[in-house]
A and B are shown apart, each in its own frame.
Chain A
Amino acid sequence: MSSKKNKYLSPEQQKYQLIAQAREPQRPVLLNSIRAFVVGGLICVLGQFFQFIYTTYFNFTEVSASNPTVSSLVILAVLMTGLGLYDHLAQYAGGGTIVPVTGFANTMASSAIEHRSEGFVLGVGGNMFKIAGPVITYGVFSAFVVAIIRFIILELGGM
């Protein structure tokens, strides 16, 4: 715990937090990492498989096959979310199911399902991006910052 946070705590609270921390079961970080690697990797292998199918049997190039590949993974993730399977897989896989595009599909599908009871406009429409929203907001913002940096370097450096 940072000392900045400690400043607002009484000695009694600080003492208790040490007691509580000592008895808190640790997250199995190594195991979680291995599971995330394996499951995340398998999702990528699946994506590779889809890409292979689309380039081999459907006249897509390696670049143009990316759209149907992503769509296939998204449809699969949304189906699994709807059937109530994705959250169980995610408890096992952690980051392995959050990082790939399937994780993004799951955030939107799960929010849409959850808020269906509040109607299509205020419920589904208003909440669909509740979890995915920050990803888009900061994704776009980071891209903007990177683009400006790139522009400045190119203009000034003339590389």
Chain B
Amino acid sequence: MLKGHQSWVFNSRPAVLACGTVGGPFEAQGPLAEDFDILHDDMWLGQESFEKAERKMLEEACEKAVEKAGQKGADVNFHLSGDLMNQIISSSFAARTLGIPYLGLFGACSTAMESLALAAQLVDSGAARMALASTSSHNGSAEKQFRYPTEYGAQKPPTAQWTVTGAGAALLGAGEEGPRVTSATIGRVVDMGLSDPFNMGAAMAPAAVDTLKAHARDLEVDLFSYDLIATGDLGRVGHEIAKDLIEEKKLPFPKERFMDCGLLIYDKTQPVHAGASGCACSAVVTFGHLINRMKRGELKKILAVATGALLSPLSYQQKESIPCIAYAVSIEI
């Protein structure tokens, strides 16, 4: 149900029936390794290309989520998915394998929460009994498409971020137990004129703050009521900027409980510059780590604010600035 200008409240409180998360070798070395359902020790997953490896991870994450919920793929009504590849090939090709009626999305790295918000809306409105939200990214395929070949020796600046190799999926449906999706705020596209693709955190921070502000306004919610507010992939640079921007806008928020998924997934010793990024960043941290923490009773109510930079290699080469978006979804247990 619409509340305020751009937010939905899900009165039926769709349950997160199960989640599936898949990670690569670099993620396996990180502090959240235990929160993954499947970890691969090979970037290629035995496939011929990075693109095929990414698709395989997405398929595994979706299958794992359905399997953990004790459901059959054939009973899931809709599958909402997106990724970073041109023409979202990872999602569409994985959807071909899964055979679940499919809606392809593009929200760049914000897709985890875009798909979750839409899936919750479908379930809440009675348009679906069960809906699967998923997304994936692969370090190799993203570097290849957006930057340079993986083995090319270019020095990255300290503001650069590391694309997560992984995939995450969440199956939503009616349920009595477990975490519930209670509300969502759909963001506006915000472009502050930044154009450096090696500093996406700074480009995306205003979008995250805009959505956060809209969320607090529309739902008349005190941000202090959240045990954790986790942005998607702002990284070290964007996270600091976001904190300052929120304070500047005089929006009361729990500073010590304001985190970024891009800062949680890797260890300080891993050479990821300003932190993690990619569709899978917000997906694996939220669907894996945070949901697990909720199930353990450590968190009661969280707000996941996935951020996405909506640029393409072409728009960047044509010297366009980077439009950004953020979607906020609240999950309660």
Using a CB–CB cutoff of 8 Å, the interface residues on chain A facing chain B are 8-10, 12-14, 16-17, 19-20, 23-28, 32, 81-82, 84, 86-87, 89-91, 93-95, 97-98, 103, 106-107, 109-111, 113-115, 117, 131
Contacting B155 at CB < 8 Å: which of A13, A91, A115?
Answer: A91
A111 & B149 in contact (Cβ 8 Å cutoff): yes
Nearest residue, chain B, Cβ from A123: B49
B153 & A25 in contact (Cβ 8 Å cutoff): no
B149 & A114 in contact (Cβ 8 Å cutoff): yes
Known A16-B206, A19-B245: A90·B154 in contact at CB below 8 Å:
yes
User: What 1/0 flags go to B174-195 for Cβ under 8 Å of A?
Assistant: 0000000000000000011110
Q: Is the interface of A mostly helix, strand, loop or mixed?
A: helix
Q: A154–B317 Cα gap in the complex (Å)?
A: 41
Q: A49–B151 Cα gap in the complex (Å)?
A: 26
Residues of A within 8 A of B158 (CB): 25-28
B152 & A110 in contact (Cβ 8 Å cutoff): yes
Instruction: Tell me the smallest distance from the CB of A137 to a CB of chain B, in Å.
Output: 16
Instruction: Tell me the smallest distance from the CB of A131 to a CB of chain B, in Å.
Output: 7
Instruction: Tell me the smallest distance from the CB of A112 to a CB of chain B, in Å.
Output: 9
Using a CB–CB cutoff of 8 Å, the interface residues on chain B facing chain A are 48-51, 144, 148-159, 191-194, 199, 202, 205-206, 236-237, 240-241, 244-245, 271, 274
A131 & B244 in contact (Cβ 8 Å cutoff): no
Nearest residue, chain A, Cβ from B240: A23
A89 & B153 in contact (Cβ 8 Å cutoff): yes
A131 & B159 in contact (Cβ 8 Å cutoff): no
Q: A8–B144 Cα gap in the complex (Å)?
A: 31
B155 & A19 in contact (Cβ 8 Å cutoff): no
Residues of A within 8 A of B144 (CB): 114
Q: Name, among B151, B159, B241, B274, the residue most crowded by chain A CB atoms within 10 Å (CB to CB).
A: B151
Residues of A within 8 A of B50 (CB): 117
Q: A53–B179 Cα gap in the complex (Å)?
A: 69
A24 & B151 in contact (Cβ 8 Å cutoff): no
Nearest residue, chain B, Cβ from A118: B49
Residues of A within 8 A of B245 (CB): 19
Q: A85–B205 Cα gap in the complex (Å)?
A: 34
Instruction: Tell me the smallest distance from the CB of B9 to a CB of chain A, in Å.
Output: 30
A97 & B150 in contact (Cβ 8 Å cutoff): no
B155 & A90 in contact (Cβ 8 Å cutoff): yes
New A-B contacts (9) at CB < 8 Å, excluding given A16-B206, A24-B199, A25-B158: A17-B192, A19-B244, A25-B237, A26-B158, A86-B153, A90-B152, A90-B155, A91-B155, A114-B144
A81 & B151 in contact (Cβ 8 Å cutoff): yes
A86 & B199 in contact (Cβ 8 Å cutoff): no
B51 & A27 in contact (Cβ 8 Å cutoff): no
Q: A95–B192 Cα gap in the complex (Å)?
A: 31
Nearest residue, chain A, Cβ from B191: A13
Residues of A within 8 A of B236 (CB): 25
Q: A30–B149 Cα gap in the complex (Å)?
A: 27
A20 & B152 in contact (Cβ 8 Å cutoff): no
A107 & B193 in contact (Cβ 8 Å cutoff): no
